[in-house]
Chains A and B, each alone.
Chain A
Amino acid sequence: MNRLLAILLTIVICTVPFGMAVSADEVSSVTDGQMEITESEYSENEETVVDEETSEENATEDNLAEQETEIPLVEYNEYIESKPQNTGDGEIVVDAGTSVNNEGFTTTFTVETEGLYTIGMSYKATDNKTSDLTVGLKIDGEYPFSEASRFVFPRFWTDKEKSREDERGNTYAPEQVIYDNYYFAEAFDISGWSSSVYNVYLTAGEHECTVNAQNGEFELEKIVFGVPESAQDYSGAEGDEYDGEPIVYEAEDAFLKTSNALAGKGDLFSSSVTPNNPMLSMINYIGSSNWKEAGETIYWKINVPKTAVYTLGFSYRQSEIINGNCYRHLKIDGKTPFAEAEKVTFSYDDSWQYNLWSDKEGTPYKVLLTEGEHTLSLTVTPGDMTNVISLLNGTVAELGNLYRDITMITGESVDTYRDYGLFNQIPDMEDKLNTMLEDLKSANKMFEEIAGHSSGSYTSVINGMIRVIEKMLAKKYSAHRYVSSYYSSYSSLSASLAEMRNMPLDLDKIILYSPTEDKLLKKDGFFGSTWFSVIRFISSFVTDYNMIGSGDSAKEKLTVWVGWGRDQAQIFDTMLKTSFTPSKNIAVELKVVNATVVQALLSGDGPDCILQHSRTEPVNLAMRGALYDLTQFEDCNEVLERFAEGADVPYRYKGGLYALPDTQSFYMMFYRTDVFEEFGFSVPKTWEEFEEVAMLLIKNNLSVSVPYTQITDMTMVNSGVGSLSLFPTFAMQNGLSLYTEDGKSTNLSDPQVISSFKKFTDFYTKLRIPTTMSFFNRFRSGTAPLGIDSYLLYTTIEAGAPEIDGRWSMAQIPATVREDGSLSATSSAGGTGCAILNISKNKKAAWELLKWWTSAETQLAYSNNVESVLGPTGRISVSNTEALFNMSWEGDIAEQIKAAREEIEEVPEYPGSYYLSRALDHSFWNVVNSNKQPKDMLTTWGKEADEEIARKWAQYEK
């Protein structure tokens, strides 16, 4: 029908060009008609909505009443604008000398001069977590501004020993340990596009302040309210000029760093980095992708031989930001020497550079240093990018809002031949587009000023967006034709906005020069570096890089197979060598293998352990006797307590446990708070509420995401039925199980299972939720403001969509109201396991490795390291409960995660269980695409699955 209508209308429009207005009217009347039908269809439901809304109103009123006891906090920007700008005078030191946890510590202090003060603490972390400390500071019983409830104070890490050496002289990165002494830091805005310390306005007189730890525990030596620093512009330095040889400090020998991922690294392939040796693997620089987020700081202790004026040089590599700059805030002894030090610039080049720190004209800055030890620090800061990023942040958010407005008129798929009259329907569309155009143009100008040239990866993305907007403005009546290119330009702009905050830098050396020195240290010339490469190439034939750092002295040796990418394997290898091997005296050979273990078993030459193995494999291998039963280890039950309850279920077979969970992910619900506010929705708690919200959103041309993983290749079923779709979740929320108790057949013909399958497929058949959609992109633009996905999406959105910061949230998935009236928000889960093979000769050592690998510290460190290299998508869905809670979740979210975590229920695995996933997939597509009855499909395909499962059991029960 629709197709016919569309064709007819096209003909009308084409043949009667002067009758445009008439046909356009026809179009609108037709669509109106359709709307009426849909509305009357839903009218019944709407009535119930009204009923429930009234009851909800009461509920929200109650909530409001509760909330009103807490005074809403102003944001820092508003706070600081509302206060006088006079700064305080004289540091106020409040001695504490106490341990602080989330209960807080309260003390009093006196302010003499009214004004703005910085907030600093001298502290040391006392727990063994790795994430930054989150600290709240109340003045006179209240947080002065909202950010004060969650100041981020870094943990200070230091090398356990100077870089370690193996028998052959290879050096490898030292282990990172918490610095066991008080250190001072100031509350700092880490949001990434401003680079300032927080100030607080204190009136004269006695005050009370409370410090509490939201995350972590620390010992507080003192609180310092300092005078805000206003560094003077550079005006030269007076004193005797140093005239000796350049003094070199190796950057990898840092004194302190704010992240445990900031260990030294090795560039084996350049002779310009020191120390180097073409025959060996050396640690010779620091930084890289671990040193890119605002606030991350490295401190060095430098010993200055005599009081004099020096110039400062760096040997560094900035190869990430193409044609752009990287910025660092330089401090000496905690003070900024002059204003220019707030953004020391590191320019782009794909190889190492030796440069003097100098101004734009190339005149080096001179610094007066006194004899003795000084602390020099470099902090990541957006520098000149601050303004661009904050400008674009606003623009991209606006672009997203406008896209949503457009989609609400046109729907996801735009009909090119229809006249939507976008500029009439959205009243201020033209103004909006014009403002955005101007903003984008000025952002481009800013980039040009910063980098000195107009080409660059960011400018080209911005130009793409500008072109689309210009086209839309030029052709107002056919503006809807550009909607899809609008969307794609907007997506890439938003993605590069997330990139822009990153300022990775590799630092090799810090050098103090004599100002009169004209011979600077240089990088190796062409012949030197070629010679180095030749030697490196030759030595690669005789060096076993696998054995670097593993130590010949280790008692026992293990072989571990992982099916990861090279980056992950390298990270894990470093962790093994820096943490596992030294502490347990077990050498590990890590192999990246893509084959299944079965082939290895066939040849009789397999690994000792396998890590992150897909869900169904452990039971598959166990029933064939290939895996070792972990319950034979005495402390097995103790180890199991690290995980969520029931996380071991899929790895059990006939009472034995054949793998430990090493990743586990579960479903959470994501929603856009701004859209919810606009429509007046409350966060759905049950599926009925979810459906209502979904229905209203869909009516407004927006969409909702309910995940369905298409089985696109054979190995997909290996990830287990729980992570493929929401159906197992539905069934389990109704208290049902997918298998009979003994696991000998499926439960798919159970009428209740069928009805929950129907409820599940209704999302796709009745609500017409698309089975494939890029939820992240649509969520970002707000066209799919509600959806369910793995909790890992949280990190992706947080890091990948900065423009919607604070306008979205995550909550537990909706619950099913059971017959007895209770709510069940159970979520199924997916994940991987790690196992020990039966052929291993070193099972005890292998068990040690598994325990180390599933421990909170290792899981967290591994996740953090991978994340810092691969970005937010690299985050691991850790199975260790402690590790999960130690990740940085913001207050409310942590509660939701905790609650959801407790509700996880795993689907057990049995011989032949892959057939259940297949049976469900077949049934699903038949129901969704071919309008078949869920009941028929589940019975037919369930029978097939039963046959396969029975056959498998028969094979191994003999």
Chain B
Amino acid sequence: MKNKDILKANQSVQNMYRRENRVCWLLLIPFMSLFFLFTLLPVFSSVVLSFFEYDMISFPSFTGIGNYLRMFTGDKVFLTVLGNTLAFAVVTGPLGFIISFLLAWFINEFNPIARSILSFLFYAPALVGNAYFIWTVAFSGDSMGYVNNFLISFGFITEPIVWFKDVRYNMTIIMIVQLWMSMGVSFLSNIAGLQNVNKELYEAGAIDGVRTRWHELWYITLPGMKNILLFGAVMQIQSVFSIGAIVSQMAGYPSINNSVDTIVNLISDVGTMRYEMGYAATLSVFLFLMMAVFRVLVGNLLNMLGSDD
């Protein structure tokens, strides 16, 4: 917007900017070409592929909307998996988001040294990547697993529970692990965002009648870091909808009765095990659209921050 005003005002400056723009484009080329090659192109090609049947060896054959029909009407597993994905997203998404913000808020109150140490501690699980493996030790199905051993020694159970093979427990456990892992990028960005809120606003707020920290949070802090929150929300949506590795590593694939498998698991199963690339592409297109819808919903929700309604 700003640029345009100036451009209207001064033709010569416009020329200068054009030249500068050219340099910008030049600098963008390395990134854009990679981005196009490895992100955009695959997205488009998967949209195209979703209308084909393709086993990676023989040539693709056109099936029209056959794959989409199969997804909604012919695949029982898909419906189960969709439910699981939504359950994970709805529970761990907002919860993880809120927890990571609240933690960031608390940690922000400490002095800088304690703050860095604490933020490192909370960020560590996400940093290490496959750290969730320690949970498989804790919830090992053997009577020597930590949780089983604890429960047995205190007399709550008499026989070890095979946690990940029991529909009663596996979903909950994986949600806990996912929450534990969710102190990721959004947590770090929240800490950064909190420090970028204009300090003067707090003073002004105090004069204008902000009485409690909750007031402060709702009317000043949150609106002040709306953009950061939106960024965090996008990351969170992306991460909760693509939960998959954790599930297959902990509960195995297929999990018992497909009770915790997610769309991502199904995609990699269809693609790499059954070599049905067309159908896998269809599923990922669906996942992509679902994420996009959620992104719009969350964006609207965040816009309501700081309002009095």
Contacts and interface: CB of A to CB of B under 8 A. Distances in A.
A602 B149 CA distance: 49
A925 B57 contact: no
Contacts of B165: 710, 771, 925, 929
Contacts of A417: 155
B41 interface: no
A929 B164 CA distance: 11
A20 to B, nearest CB: 18
Given A624-B275, A625-B57, A914-B273, A712 B156 contact: no
A925 B256 contact: yes
Nearest to A418: B155
B143 A413 contact: yes
B257 interface: yes
A710 B141 CA distance: 11
A713 B56 contact: no
Interface stretch (B28-36, B124-132, B179-187, B245-253): B245-253
A780 B252 CA distance: 29
B298 interface: no
Interface in B32-68: 53, 55-58
Chain B at the A interface: mostly helix, strand, loop or mixed?
A: loop
A930 B275 contact: no
A6 interface: yes
B55 A716 contact: no
Contacts of A414: 153
B155 A3 contact: yes
Interface in A846-876: none
B268 A714 contact: yes
Given A598-B57, A602-B56, A625-B58, A713 B144 contact: no
Nearest to B144: A484
Contact of B253 (A7, A602, A713, A930): A713
Nearest to A414: B153
Interface string A771-785: 111100000000000
A875 to B, nearest CB: 25
Contacts of A22: none
Interface in A727-781: 768, 770-774
A771 B248 CA distance: 19
B252 A716 contact: yes
B76 A944 contact: yes
Contacts of B167: 929-930
Taking residues whose C-beta sits less than 8 angstroms from the other chain, chain B's interface range is 35 or more
Given A3-B157, A417-B155, A598 B166 contact: no
Interface in B244-296: 248-249, 252-254, 256-257, 268-269, 272-275
B57 A770 contact: no
A10 interface: yes
Nearest to A488: B144
Contact of B55 (A412, A624, A929, A944): A624
Interface in A933-958: 944, 952, 955
A10 B156 CA distance: 12
B142 interface: yes
A584 interface: no
A4 B56 CA distance: 58
Interface in A792-823: none
Contacts of A713: 248-249, 252-253
Given A770-B160, A773-B142, A926-B256, A624 B57 contact: yes
Nearest to B269: A714
A918 interface: yes
Nearest to A1: B158
Nearest to B252: A712
A413 B145 CA distance: 11
A714 B253 contact: yes
Interface residues of A, number: 47
Chain A at the B interface: mostly helix, strand, loop or mixed?
A: helix
Given A6-B155, A413-B143, A774-B142, A626 B268 contact: no
B152 interface: yes
Given A716-B252, A929-B256, A771 B56 contact: no
Contacts, number: 104
B162 interface: yes
A413 B256 contact: no
B256 A922 contact: yes
A714 B152 CA distance: 31
B20 interface: no
Most buried by B among A3, A413, A773: A413
A912 to B, nearest CB: 8
Interface string A414-432: 1111000000000000000
Contacts of B55: 624, 955
Contacts of A412: 143
A413 B142 CA distance: 11
Contacts of A484: 144, 149
Nearest to A768: B159
A155 B272 CA distance: 48
Contacts of B275: 598, 620, 624
Nearest to A416: B153
A284 B19 CA distance: 66
A822 to B, nearest CB: 37
A717 B53 CA distance: 24
Contacts of A912: 274
Contact of A415 (B142, B155, B166): B155
B256 A602 contact: no
Contacts of B252: 710-713, 716
A249 to B, nearest CB: 51
Nearest to B157: A3
A770 B143 contact: yes
Contacts of A217: none
Interface string A393-427: 00000000000000000001111110000000000
Nearest to A6: B155
Nearest to A937: B257
Nearest to A777: B144
Contacts of A922: 254, 256-257
A231 interface: no
Nearest to B167: A930
A40 interface: no
Nearest to B155: A6
A929 B167 CA distance: 9
B58 A624 contact: yes
A713 to B, nearest CB: 6
A608 B32 CA distance: 38
A921 interface: yes
A618 to B, nearest CB: 14
B142 A770 contact: yes
Contacts of B274: 912, 914, 952
A921 B166 contact: no
A440 B275 CA distance: 58
B249 A771 contact: no
Contact of A602 (B57, B143, B166): B57
Contacts of A599: 56
Contacts of B143: 412-413, 770
B245 to A, nearest CB: 10
A601 interface: yes
Nearest to B142: A772
B55 to A, nearest CB: 6
Contacts of A918: 254
12 contacts: A2-B155, A2-B158, A413-B149, A598-B275, A601-B57, A624-B58, A713-B249, A714-B248, A714-B268, A773-B142, A922-B254, A922-B256
**Can you list the 7 inter-chain pairs with the closest CB atoms, starting with the nearest?**
A6-B155, A624-B57, A712-B252, A925-B256, A413-B152, A772-B141, A714-B253
Given A3-B156, A417-B155, 18 more contacts: A2-B155, A6-B155, A10-B155, A413-B149, A416-B154, A620-B275, A625-B57, A710-B165, A713-B249, A713-B252, A714-B268, A922-B257, A925-B256, A926-B256, A929-B165, A929-B256, A952-B274, A955-B55
Interface of B: 53, 55-58, 76, 140-144, 149, 152-160, 162, 165-167, 248-249, 252-254, 256-257, 268-269, 272-275
